Structure formats: structure tokens, C-alpha cells
Structure 1
Amino acid sequence: MFKKLDFFLFGWIINWMYPEYYRPKYGYQRYYILFFHYLIPQKLFRLNPKVRWPVHFTSKVLAAENIKKGILCDPGDNNNNYIQANNGIIFGSNIELGPGVSIISSNHKGNNLREHTKGKPITIGNNVWIGANSTVLPEVSIGNNVIIGANSLVSKNIPSNSVAVGNPCRVIKPKEDYSEDLSVIIFNKKIVEKFDVFLNSNV
């Protein structure tokens, strides 16, 4: 009963204000928490105001217009995330970032600290978990079905189906297939058709 009341009072506001927010309708994050801890700081106090998904008030998302993302993925929704997308970041679907994760798509120029270097976007595949206090550096590619251990520095590409940890981050073992049936999730809003292939491929 409380879940339905929560959705009735706050859920429609969250869905309206965050057009790129796709999560399970119930059981993921309470809508009143999203309203007070995310929406109010973003829209009223102008913390990450242009981001089209929930960002925690302790996190920072820069150049959000250069971010492409799938569903079940909201970069910056955990505590103390730093997402800098000057050169672009492409997130797949079903991605979780632990607290303190930084993803940095461009460095400052050595001869002019007011300018950033140009380069390829960072790409992160589907079904990826990046552990707490890890940092992903410019032009890195992380494959599908990957776990990055906590406190890792990802400075080189990480292949699909792997567990990687360390500074520098390296593969330590293969990872089993992702087994969750995402096609049974009842989402908070109608899923865009382009994501149907992803949802059904995880069956």
C-alpha cells in the first residue's frame, strides 16, 4: 500500500521531471527520496540542473549533453560520483556505479590548464558494476558483463566477461554470464522500443 501511495504522490513527478529515468516501478528507490534528495537539489538549488536523470546532491555531472546512456543506468545517482563528459561518455544499460566513482573523459592540457585535451569518448557496455572509489580515465573502453573492483584505476581497455581490479586495473579472472531476467521487470514508465532488444537478450 505504501509503495502505491508513494508512486501516486511522487512517482508521476519523478517520471515527468526525469525523462531518461528507467527503473523498476517498485522496489528500487522510494519516490519520496528521489523527490527530496535528488529532484529538489537539482531543480530548486540548481545542482546538476540540466541532467535528465536523478543525480545525488553530493555528486557532480559535467557536460551531461555529451552522455548517451541506456536504461537501468543513472550516472551520478550514488554518493560522491564525479562524471566529466567533455569528450563524451557512452553508457550501456544495467550499469551501477559505487560511491566515490569518478569517470573522467578528458584531461587538462599540460601547457594550458584552462583547456581540455580532445579524444575519443569513454564507452561502458551492458551489465557493468564499477566498485566504490574507482576511477575511469579518458578513452577507456569497458566491455559487457564486467565487474571493476573497488579502488581501481582503469587506464586501459577492459574486455567483456571479466573481473578486473587494481591500480592499474587488470583482469584477474573471467566472469560468468549475467543471469538476471530483465525482461520481467515492470518499469516506472513505458520503455522506449530501442531498449527491447537489450531486455530480451538477457533472458
Structure 2
Amino acid sequence: MTKDSTPPPSDATFEDYGLAHTLDARPDQPTLREAAKHLILPDGIESTLWPKIEYRLSTLGVTLDNWQASASSAALGLDADGKFACTIGGVTASIPRQVGKSFWVSHLLIALCIEIPGLKATWTSHHGRTTTNTFRAVAAAVSQPLIKSHLRQDRSNGIRSTNGEQEIHFANGSRIMFGAREQGFGRGLDAIDIVVMDEAQQLGIKHSKTSCPP
């Protein structure tokens, strides 16, 4: 699918653009239901934001695996009122190492930031080293030509890594901030739209209460 040959998909039901859609696109890969040992989908999904984000990813030269696309469709599922069906508790995933979870979440977040002006997101890990490694990986991803054009044009070219700050700034005002929970990152930040909590097995109740959007 390319920007020139395929128009942006219109709103569709979860069934149309969820598991069935990704199965048709890449039949050689397992679906989310086949790959997951335990799967609970949000109740009340009637549509999903995923088709728009999937198209955005295609213009950036990014294609997700079946399970990643299906998980994205569920995570971005909308109820009858057009609100996200996945609310309290957020999207939770226990996934092994080296299966593409950071690639999936980071590129989903990048596409959301490009698609939604002014989106404000944080990415936290327990340890500072993990946070730095993730930031470097995301910084490398947004440095690709098709994504780089969406970054804020300033002295740092939209990638800020000075004075202890690790941030990705987009031209439309969206921003991704990175920090380690062991260093107190995330507490007191306001107007946060998306919180990514890596290494959640080491997430304390105190931090989760003070860093999650109300």
C-alpha cells in the first residue's frame, strides 16, 4: 500500500479492519488470537481509529505484523459514542523479548503524534539505561526521511537530548518525552494524553497513581 496508489480508508467496523483485514493482507503470519496465550478484548468496540493510523504508517514506509496490527486495532477501538473502548487499566501486554514490541508501540505512537496535532505522550521505564536505549531507538526511527519531514525544524531537528531531557518534537506540536521512573520522571506532568509504561512488572502503585492521566 502506497500513498499514491491507495486512498485513506474510511471509517469501518472493528471486524472489517481488525483481525480479518490483517489476515487478508499477510496470510503467512499468525493472527493476534493465534499468537496470544491469553487475550481479553475491550467490550463495546463498534469502530476503530486503526485504519487511519495504518494508512499513516504506510505513508511512512512502515508495515506491522499481523498480531501488531490486530492489537493496534483493538487498542484504538471506539465505542458507540466515538470514545476509546479501552479505558480503565489501559492497554496491557505481557510480551517476551525480541518479538518487536518496542517497534510496534513506538511506531504506533509516532503515527498517532503525526495524525493528532498537539498530542502529548510520555514513555517511562524503571531503569535509566532502558529509557536511554529506547529513546535512541525511537530517535533513529524518526530520523528516517519519510518520518523526519514531520519533525519540528529547529537546532536539534526535533530530537532533544540535552540537559537531561530526552524528547521528540513534531512540527504539529505533538511531543514524546522519555524518562526513568527510578529518577522520578513522570510525576507532576500535566495534560498528558498517552502514558507508555515499559518494565511494568516493576511499576509501583504510587508512581502509577501520580503519572497516569485522570
Question: How does the TM-score come out when normalised to structure 1?
Answer: 0.29
The higher-RCO structure (CA 8 Å, 6+ apart) is 2
TM-score by length of structure 2 reads: 0.28
Give the number of the structure whose residues are more often strand, by fraction.
Answer: 1
